[in-house]
Amino acid sequence: MADPRHFRHYEEEFKRQIVQLYENGKPAREIKTEYDISHSTLHRWVQGIRNSGSTKAADNRTPELIELHRRNRQLEMEVDVLKQAALIFARK
């Protein structure tokens, strides 16, 4: 199995071929073993192809997820401001 500390890059065509094997009935266990792919990676590719026709993460983001990421960034900035304010007021 591949070293989990190293990111492995797969070409889009390879991903589509693996998903096609899965869709044609080849068991996930055999695919994972034969091609040294983790369960989560295979599942993510299959879901991406089914949902949007793409395995790229940016293509599979829902509007709700995009809004949550935007709101999360906003809240993190607000927390940073409040931390700075707490440091300033704590000195007095």
Residues 13-48 have pLDDT tens digits of 898 899 999 999 999 999 999 999 999 989 888 888
Count of beta carbons in the 10 Å neighbourhood of residue 46: 17
Domain count, the chain: 2
Do residues 34 and 66 both lie within one domain? no
Do residues 75 and 85 both lie within one domain? yes
Cβ neighbours for 45, distance < 8 A, ≥ 6 positions apart:
15, 18, 19, 55
Retrieve residue 81's tokens: 């401001």
Do residues 8 and 35 both lie within one domain? yes
Retrieve residue 90's tokens: 């704590």
Domain housing 77: 61-92
Do residues 2 and 45 both lie within one domain? yes
Residues 56-91 have pLDDT tens digits of 665 666 778 778 999 999 999 999 999 999 888 887
Do residues 39 and 4 both lie within one domain? yes
Nearest Cα to Cα of residue 66 among 15, 80, 41, 74: 74
SS3 state at 75: helix
Do residues 13 and 39 both lie within one domain? yes
